[in-house]
Amino acid sequence: MMQKFKNATQLALTAALMLVAVAAYPTAVTAQEEAEPVPAAAEAPMPVAELPPPSVGEVETKTEQIENPYGMEALWRQGDLVAKSVLVIMLIMSAATWYIMFVKLVEQQKLFKQAKSASDNFWSSASLNEGLGKLKQGSPFWYVANRGMTASEHHEGTMVERIALNDWITMSISRAVEEIQSRLQGGLAVLATVGSTAPFVGLFGTVWGIYHALTAIGISGQASIDKVAGPVGEALIMTAIGLAVAVPAVMGYNWLVRRNKAAMERVRAFSGDLHAVILSGARVGDAARRRVG
């Protein structure tokens, strides 16, 4: 019995010692970690060498150029014969429009200046021959005056002498005025034609581009945006070009027609006064003031 008690006591003491040892182990490890010195490399990182900033001359600006696959250049490069023909036709129509507008504008401006010169110099002359010499040769007003004076001088002794002098002079001056009007209207038919046909030429290019889009879809078997974007872009560009050609032609036509009317009013006023001077020796306004007085 005593022996069993001793054994139990020894086992209890052994277990107690083991528990004490286990409890004291973390404290010893912590003390050991605190006692170990921290390496100098761990205390502070190694200094990094600083690079000098690049100079302004070393910095190069690189601009990335992205080519537009659906622009005008791509349209001309990828277009077929029909698309290129439509572009060339519209280019010719646009060039003709601006050329005619510029030429007619210069011509009308010259006529307005000649009308002012005729009003200032011709009617202040002592005779018709002197007034005709003051007009610029080849101008519309010189042409009307020359035709009227020629009709009055060469009426007798010819087959037209059976026609009354008044009627013969009237017909000669009227024909001269009509010829000037016809000359002023030259080129306006081109503007009218361009203004009325350019949208349809652009529409033809649009239809052709849509046809290409449908063909691309049928060949590929799928309606993806990369198969349709090119032909549809061509179609939209054709429509825009057609409108850009037609709108200036229509506006220029209306503007030039209005200026032609103003110019012809001055020519007709000059021809009416010339007719009165040839027959009666006085202008229409002078004769009216004479009757009032």
Q: DSSP per residue over 177-216, as a string? A: HHHHHHHHTTTHHHHHHHHHHHHHHHHHHHHHHHHHHHHH
**Average pLDDT, whole number, for the chain?**
75
Q: What is the mean pLDDT of residues 187-208?
A: 90
What per-residue confidence (pLDDT) applies to 93? 94
Q: What is the mean pLDDT of residues 229-233?
A: 70
In terms of pLDDT, which residue wins out, 116 or 61?
Answer: 116
What per-residue confidence (pLDDT) applies to 28? 44
Domain boundaries, the chain: 81-109+124-288
Tokens of 64: 């990335």
What per-residue confidence (pLDDT) applies to 257? 94
Query: Taking 70 as the threshold, does the pLDDT of residue 212 lie above it?
Result: yes
Task: Round to whole Å and give the CA distance between 228 and 217.
Answer: 7
Q: What is the mean pLDDT of residues 209-223?
A: 75
Q: Confidence band (pLDDT; 50, 70, 90) for 27?
A: very low
Query: Of 211, 153, 184, 199, nearest to 267 (Cα)?
Result: 184
Query: Taking 90 as the threshold, does the pLDDT of residue 221 lie above it?
Result: no
Percent of the chain with pLDDT over 70: 63
Tokens of 248: 């200036």
pTM: 0.65
Give residue-wise pLDDT tens across range 276-289.
888 876 555 544 44
Q: Confidence band (pLDDT; 50, 70, 90) for 290?
A: very low
- 145's CB contacts (< 8 A; 6+ apart) are 122, 128, 131, 132, 135, 274
What per-residue confidence (pLDDT) applies to 85? 87
What per-residue confidence (pLDDT) applies to 5? 38
Tokens of 136: 């610029």
